Amino acid sequence: MTKSKAADGAGSIGTLNYAIFDHVTGQLIFSDRKALTIDDIEISLLKTSFKKTIELGNHFSFSFADSATRSGPKCFGLSSRRDDVRSFAWVWFEEDYPGHAKHRDLSELHFDTKNTPNGNEIHCMEFLTDVSIEVSRLNETPHTPEWRVEIYKGSMMVWPVLVDGEVQSL
């Protein structure tokens, strides 16, 4: 896995409005409305996909995984985790018509794709509804959610791409 951070900040690439809750009590842990720049995105190259991560604070991060090599309808995952506890969460979205994807809980996203040096990648993403990502500790069975990351409707980002090991806007 290769991790790269942007060499220098560019202008705004979007806004992320979110909150993190204790899933059991419903108590708010942290919330923010973050103006995103390219410096906020870390891209990891996995075997056949790219993981694009935004640090949220309080040990939480939000990630998006996309495979630029897949043809046909787009399928992609949104995830969240804590960096101080073995944890994970995954919310899978499937394209139901061009530029629109749904999760089975009826969460919806609008997206567009762009041809990049890596293939056809998701370029812009807008949250049409709130999206809830339930985070569980990995060592517990069953995986009972302990935290919930809520990405709010209207959040939008133009995802940068990894080109020759450097994060770049296209």
So where are the chain's domains? 8-168
112's CB contacts (< 8 A; 6+ apart) are 99, 122, 123, 124
Beta-bridge mates of residue 127: 109
88's CB contacts (< 8 A; 6+ apart) are 79, 81, 135, 136, 138
Cα–Cα distance, 21 to 33 (Å, whole number): 15
| Share above pLDDT 90 across residues of the chain, in percent, rounded to a whole number | 63
What pLDDT shows up at residue 99? Answer: 92
pLDDT, tens digit (0-9, with 9 covering 90-100), for 109-127: 999 988 888 888 899 999 9
164's CB contacts (< 8 A; 6+ apart) are none
pTM above 0.85, yes or no: yes
Cα–Cα distance, 162 to 149 (Å, whole number): 26
Walk along the chain (170 residues) and give the pLDDT tens digit of each residue: 444 554 455 589 999 999 999 999 999 999 999 999 999 999 998 877 889 999 999 999 999 987 765 566 678 899 999 999 999 898 999 999 999 999 987 899 999 988 888 888 899 999 999 999 999 998 766 678 999 999 999 999 999 998 888 888 87
Write the DSSP symbol of residue 152.
Answer: P
Judge whether 137 and 85 are in contact, CB under 8 Å: yes
